[in-house]
Structure 1
């Protein structure tokens, strides 16, 4: 499995609720960095063992299903690169907006736009993740998420 250039980053950020603006941003950045590794086992460590997800129209529960879902996702989403940005936060919840770009087996590029709502256990692990995502077909020349950059979502 190919790794993202940010692999050297620290992902296990021990941040627990209640969140303030700084800790919420750190939590979002840690999630972005972990997902950009495309390592399902590493990503799954950020969730409670019984974490509940809705990803688009798919419902996922627990570590085993999370790992299986992410494995299948990154087998079909090639050169995946993600940017997240804090949208709102409160106590044990964080809302983010995100964009990621990838191409399919046929070489068609996509930009996926979405919003996520996260709910955390007292341990700081995510207990619930609700994601709504829309895909837009793009040309490779239209890519704007730089895989070597760590900036938030591009504004244009």
Structure 2
């Protein structure tokens, strides 16, 4: 039960998509949370081209798709489009956080993690949402370094 008197379970948004290296840890956390608190509400963020489009629904969790934000590693025209993509994706994530009344965002890296971190911590949002960053690699990826 939530401390604000709402009898719904907490709302957890999991942000990790693209590869199984991001999606499977997110699904393991979702499964563990569901076992510990059956009333938890899990929402996964993903993109239309990631493995999450198959793996998340197969596990029975809600999947919300956002615009992917690949981070170019070299100066190209994609680098010029990055600010607009980030703004769009952050706006989309804010909408998801509001719709599911998110209590926490747990990020696992990948194309959806950066906009999720930014949306959760945004001063333009009605409320900030706490963020947990999960990093399974010896060296954190760029999105998780920003999130941390």
TM-score norm. by structure 1 comes to 0.28
Higher helix share: 2
TM-score norm. by structure 2 comes to 0.29
Higher strand share: 1
